[in-house]
């Protein structure tokens, strides 16, 4: 795994240029392994349910759960706040709710990026009402724009720059999720 060449990036993006690669594949893999170790240590006992916030978290969640060295359960949430834009609309729609019972379990919500925090704030309210043993967030990227949810954000992969990021699950209008690196979209 190395930093891809310009021609490789253009091939992977269908000819759409990116401004820069912000986090390359080896950097992401190393940090995900560190997060898995932190989570393993933080939850020595009890049922641990990992709730992936789809669609953006699916690649991160897949890599993350394989680095956690304890039993876990996995389910998903689907919420929407972006539509086709580059800025959160502020309207959060829950499109899929987990079928797994949450009461009495450690719940770890896995998010791709925390931007405004609106979506996450709403989800945390819904999940807290279901009486979990504990409730926390693991995010790959944090833009640091949502101070009101700091208490719940327990695990952070990287501080995100003020850019529109794509790759490693992050998209723009459903494109670029497949990229193995995170790039600043031009």
Known catalytic membership, residue 115: yes
Residues contacting residue 109 through CB under 8 Å, at least 6 positions apart: 51, 53, 77, 120, 123, 124, 127, 135, 136, 137, 138
- Two structure tokens written together for 10: 């253009």
Yes or no: say if 61 and 110 are a contact pair by the CB < 8 Å rule.
Answer: yes
147-184 burial string, b = 16+ CB within 10 Å, else e? Answer: eebeebbbbbbbebeeeebbbbbbbbeeebbebebbbb
In whole angstroms, give the CA distance from residue 98 to residue 135: 15
Q: Which of 115, 142, 171, 184 is catalytic?
A: 115
* Residues identified as active-site: 115
């Amino acid at each position: 795994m190395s930093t891809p060449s310009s021609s490789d990036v253009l091939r992977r993006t269908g000819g759409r240029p990116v401004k820069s690669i912000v986090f390359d594949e080896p950097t992401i893999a190393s940090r995900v392994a560190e997060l898995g170790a932190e989570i393993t240590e933080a939850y020595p006992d009890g049922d641990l349910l990992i709730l992936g916030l789809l669609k953006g978290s699916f690649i991160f969640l897949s890599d993350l759960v394989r680095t956690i060295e304890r039993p876990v359960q996995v389910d998903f949430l689907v919420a929407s706040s972006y539509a086709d834009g580059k800025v959160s609309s502020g309207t959060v729609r829950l499109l899929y709710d987990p079928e797994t019972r949450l009461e009495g379990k450690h719940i770890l919500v896995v998010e791709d990026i925390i931007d405004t925090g609106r979506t996450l704030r709403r989800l945390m309210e819904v999940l807290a009402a279901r009486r979990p043993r504990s409730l926390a967030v693991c995010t790959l990227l944090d833009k640091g724009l949502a101070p009101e949810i700091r208490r719940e954000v327990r695990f952070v992969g990287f501080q995100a720059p003020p850019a529109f990021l794509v790759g490693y699950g992050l998209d723009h209008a459903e494109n670029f999720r497949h990229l193995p690196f995170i790039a600043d979209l031009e």
